[in-house]
A = this chain, B = another copy of it.
Amino acid sequence: MLKSDSNKTVGVDHQNELPIGVFDSGVGGLTVLRALQHHLPNERYLYLGDTARLPYGTKSADTIVRYSLQAASVLVRRGIKCLVIACNTASATALEALRERYPALPIIGVVQPGAQAGCEASATGRIAVVATEGTVRGGAYQYAIAAIRPDARIEAMACPLFVSLAEEGWTSGPIVEAIAHRYLDTVFSAPQPPDTLLLGCTHFPVIRQALQKVVGPEVTIVDSAQTTAVALSSLLTSMGWLSKQEGQSRGVAVRFMATDGRERFARVAAYFLERSIPADSVELIDIALAEG
């Protein structure tokens, strides 16, 4: 719907064929992109990874809002019909500021759909959340879950090594399992353990199978990438904004943009997308020049 910052409405058919904008601080959001492509295969996507300024999790709220507005501005000016904030930190911190700046653009974050799905999956109300240090400290999942289900008992655990494992591509085997045991055993071997494990970091779906092995088959693992994709699919369907084109006629399915390190982006992207992408298909952009 938005072709420029001026919020000019364009023809409905044209608007439906605009890509979905996806923004993350780096490569983690590619798990969200993969889920979106699975649920909405006819859509085109514009993915922006702010790799020059990652990680967002350790930065102040003002800085995260400014960076998120700059990233959104780049995507909006290229033309997108909706925006997915595929970054937990930015979702928790900048969602309201983005909605204020772009009131006519549907914007969806990963925290709310993840919290919703976690609450629905849990029979006992005992929910464990694994995330980065910044997300846990910010408390976004804890607040979102408590708002939906005030009786929930939430254990939020910062697991920074899971991020490094995902980026290194060490997604299964004894090392990832030993690290998962060290992070999770105390909570999951308690007398009344959680029945649901919510992956509150976009990197973590990459190690999902290893986590399932460690917590056991009786624990439901909820992945905010999947639930965000389902939420966006419902939203676009209800608005009549789905693409009408199919297959090759719609052009390149995904355009990638990064703010630094194209080679690294392409290499690490392979673990997250489960397919290789050539480095020269990643466009390098200078986001600091974008309007904040």
Contacts and interface: CB of A to CB of B under 8 A. Distances in A.
A167 to B, nearest CB: 7
Identify whether the interface residues of A are mostly helix, strand, loop, or mixed. helix
A261 B60 CA distance: 8
A273 interface: no
A61 to B, nearest CB: 11
Given A161-B164, A164-B164, A264 B133 contact: yes
Given A51-B58, A58-B264, A59-B52, A167 B175 contact: no
Given A52-B59, A58-B260, A260-B58, A175 B179 contact: yes
A274 interface: no
A280 B95 CA distance: 31
A217 interface: no
A187 to B, nearest CB: 17
A63 interface: yes
Interface in A144-200: 160-161, 163-165, 167-168, 170, 174-175, 178-179, 182
Nearest to A60: B260
A58 B179 CA distance: 25
Interface in A56-94: 58-60, 63
Nearest to A163: B164
Interface of A: 51-54, 58-60, 63, 133, 160-161, 163-165, 167-168, 170, 174-175, 178-179, 182, 260-261, 264
10 contacts: A52-B59, A54-B58, A58-B260, A160-B164, A161-B164, A161-B168, A174-B178, A175-B179, A175-B182, A178-B178
